Amino acid sequence: MRRFREQARTNLLSEQGKALRVQRNVEVETVFGQVKHSMHFRRFSLRGLEKAKTEWGLVCIAHNMRKLA
């Protein structure tokens, strides 16, 4: 367990790890911010994993369609 933590820390603090973290902030976090703010999606309306997956899929489709428009 400790070995994996050490490896993860080494990966995160490497130059490549720092570059990937910066890229994540730009690419991924922006999408969640847009979904939460612009689309007002803060919580799932349906119960159950399968229904929540379907709902999230619809949110993703809507987000992608907004990007194309």
- The pLDDT tens digits for 15-37 are 998 888 877 766 677 888 889 99
Checking if the pLDDT of 43 tops 90, the result is yes
Mean pLDDT estimate for the chain: 89
The burial of 9, by beta-carbon neighbours within 10 Å (0-12 exposed, 13-18 middle, 19 or more buried), is given as exposed
- For 68, the token pair is 């194309």
- Percent above pLDDT 90 for the chain: 51
Residue with tokens 């979904």: 35
pLDDT for residue 55: 97
pLDDT for residue 5: 92
CA 24 to chain centre: 9
- pTM given for the model: 0.59
Query: Residue 45: in which H helix or E strand, if any?
Result: none
